[in-house]
Amino acid sequence: MRKTLQKLEQSTLEALQKATTLKELQSVYTDYFGKKGLLKEILSNLKNLSPDEKQTIGKAANELKNQLEGQFKNRQNELNQENISKSLKQEWLDLTAPGKTYEIGHIHPLSQTQEEVERIFQQMGFSIIDGPEIESEYYNFEGLNIPAHHPARDMQDTFFLDKKAHHEEGRLVLRTHTSPNQIRAMRKYGVPLRIIVPGRVFRNEATDASHEHTFDQVEGLLIDRDISLAHLKGVMTDFLSRLFKKEMKIRFRPGYFPFVEPGLELDMSCVFCNEKGCRVCKKTGWIEFMGCGMTHPHVIRSGGADPTQYQGWAFGFGLTRLVMMRYGIDDIRHLTSGDVRFLEQF
Ligand code: DAH
């Protein structure tokens, strides 16, 4: 019987070593330790032994059983460990490898400057408003004191749409300027009013380095009681100084726009040469910046307000031109080209 136990020990240990996967180990368990396994069989033979033998051999057999079960657990742990390190090797992660960089976009130069402009005007109490890019002839022209027969209509070559506008508002056009929103805003919010309107405008033009069919403007309108050009001068001097982060000067020259009276052109001191004269300012020391003037009574009336009680001023400048000047961009067509090589520079 002792021999049998020794053989059993040996064959079990061998079988355990031979099992190289957990599955194989499981069948070793069934063969040796299971209900019908060898170990059970031998233990059940104990009952045929004499009482003396039962005591000594039974003890030895139980010890062997415990020992072999311990061995089984060890082998099981070993194989488990091997499995884990195998899968770790497969999933190996090189923490020193350089990371993948993702291209992230950035804000278009036009939008960057637009945001700065908005922030400065907002700090001066102006609201930022938006308006439709498809306008009626009424808002784009008549309401702004530009009647159908008026020669000022020749100043802007317009994209007309094939559809009529609602009511008596004429045809639909792609807005040629942001000025229609002077009337829209007065009608919507009433007066007094302080707004700027940044937005896209469209002109039916042949394109070249300085002309584009699509570009951006910023309209401004302030309506209140007792408003004069002195307020416009103050607001614009402050605005330009904050935008260019240096003290700027402005000057007015007479100009003509049907929706203002008097109408003016506003020049700013040249940011590039401090008025000494350079290529950008064409040696004059001044750069033409925008059209402006005291709002025409016709426009105040179009907006539903009483021009004998309220007056104000309006202005309109080219955001696209401002961006070109700021960054020294020599061709307007770059700005809407969507060319990443150009855009990556900002
Ligand atoms: N709307 C004009 C244009 O497109 C610019 C302009 C001039 C706007 C004078 C104004 C203004 O509000 O008062 O050229």
pLDDT score for 156 = 63
Higher pLDDT, 54 or 320: 320
Average pLDDT over residues 21-33: 86
- Other C-beta atoms lying within 10 Å of the C-beta of residue 64: 18
Of 341, 304, 296, whose CA–CA distance to 144 is shortest?
Answer: 296
Expressed in angstroms and rounded, the spacing between residue 316 Cα and the centre of ligand 1 is: 4
Please state the atom number of ligand 1 nearest to the C-alpha of residue 255.
Answer: 9
In a domain, 57, yes or no: yes
Please indicate, yes or no, whether residues 206 and 327 belong to a single structural domain of this protein. Answer: yes
Q: Assess whether pLDDT exceeds 70 at residue 118.
A: yes
Q: Assess whether pLDDT exceeds 90 at residue 199.
A: yes
Q: Which residue's CA is the closest to the ligand 1 atom numbered 2?
A: 316
Q: Assess whether pLDDT exceeds 90 at residue 42.
A: no
Please state the atom number of ligand 1 nearest to the C-alpha of residue 182.
Answer: 12
Residues with a CB atom less than 6 Å from ligand 1: 177, 179, 219, 257, 260, 291-293, 314-316
User: 229 falls in which pLDDT band (50, 70, 90)?
Assistant: very high
Expressed in angstroms and rounded, the spacing between residue 7 Cα and the centre of ligand 1 is: 107
C-alpha distances in Å from residue 131, one per residue of 235, 249, 293, 327: 23, 31, 21, 28
pLDDT score for 105 = 86
Expressed in angstroms and rounded, the spacing between residue 171 Cα and the centre of ligand 1 is: 21
pLDDT score for 195 = 98
Q: Assess whether pLDDT exceeds 90 at residue 301.
A: yes
pLDDT score for 20 = 87
**Residue 30 belongs to what domain range?**
2-90
pLDDT score for 155 = 64
Please indicate, yes or no, whether residues 70 and 205 belong to a single structural domain of this protein. Answer: no
Q: Are 152 and 146 in contact (CB under 8 A)?
A: yes
In a domain, 99, yes or no: no
Please state the atom number of ligand 1 nearest to the C-alpha of residue 176.
Answer: 4
Helix ranges (H only) for the chain are 2-18, 22-28, 38-45, 51-90, 109-123, 137-140, 180-189, 229-244, 297-302, 319-327, 340-343
User: 236 falls in which pLDDT band (50, 70, 90)?
Assistant: very high
Please state the atom number of ligand 1 nearest to the C-alpha of residue 292.
Answer: 13
Average pLDDT over residues 160-179: 90
Average pLDDT over residues 289-312: 98
Average pLDDT over residues 67-84: 88
Please indicate, yes or no, whether residues 306 and 210 belong to a single structural domain of this protein. Answer: yes
pLDDT score for 126 = 98
Boundary of a domain, candidates 90, 121, 140:
90
pLDDT score for 254 = 98
Please indicate, yes or no, whether residues 21 and 85 belong to a single structural domain of this protein. Answer: yes
Percentage of the chain modeled with pLDDT above 70: 99
Please indicate, yes or no, whether residues 68 and 200 belong to a single structural domain of this protein. Answer: no
Q: Assess whether pLDDT exceeds 70 at residue 19.
A: yes
pLDDT score for 66 = 87
In a domain, 264, yes or no: yes
* Nearest-angstrom CA–CA distance, 153 and 251: 27
Please indicate, yes or no, whether residues 327 and 282 belong to a single structural domain of this protein. Answer: yes
User: 94 falls in which pLDDT band (50, 70, 90)?
Assistant: confident
Q: Are 239 and 121 in contact (CB under 8 A)?
A: yes
Average pLDDT over residues 208-222: 95
CATH number of the domain encompassing residue 326: 3.30.930.10
Expressed in angstroms and rounded, the spacing between residue 275 Cα and the centre of ligand 1 is: 25
User: 24 falls in which pLDDT band (50, 70, 90)?
Assistant: confident
Q: Which residue's CA is the closest to the ligand 1 atom numbered 8?
A: 316
In a domain, 159, yes or no: no
Mean per-residue pLDDT of the chain: 91
**pTM > 0.75: yes or no:** no
Q: Which amino acid is at 283?
A: K
In a domain, 317, yes or no: yes
Please state the atom number of ligand 1 nearest to the C-alpha of residue 155.
Answer: 14
Average pLDDT over residues 199-227: 94
pLDDT score for 88 = 83
Highest mean pLDDT (candidates 58-67, 124-133, 164-173): 124-133
Residue 159 zone, left/alpha/beta (φ > 0; ψ -120 to 50; rest): beta
Please indicate, yes or no, whether residues 200 and 308 belong to a single structural domain of this protein. Answer: yes
Please indicate, yes or no, whether residues 190 and 336 belong to a single structural domain of this protein. Answer: yes
Residue 336 zone, left/alpha/beta (φ > 0; ψ -120 to 50; rest): alpha
* Nearest-angstrom CA–CA distance, 10 and 295: 109
C-alpha distances in Å from residue 40, one per residue of 16, 70, 72, 213, 320: 17, 16, 15, 95, 93
Expressed in angstroms and rounded, the spacing between residue 272 Cα and the centre of ligand 1 is: 25
Tens-place pLDDT, residues 278-287? 988 999 999 9
In a domain, 142, yes or no: no
Please indicate, yes or no, whether residues 116 and 78 belong to a single structural domain of this protein. Answer: no
Name the domain count of the chain: 2
Q: Assess whether pLDDT exceeds 90 at residue 152.
A: no
Please indicate, yes or no, whether residues 21 and 125 belong to a single structural domain of this protein. Answer: no
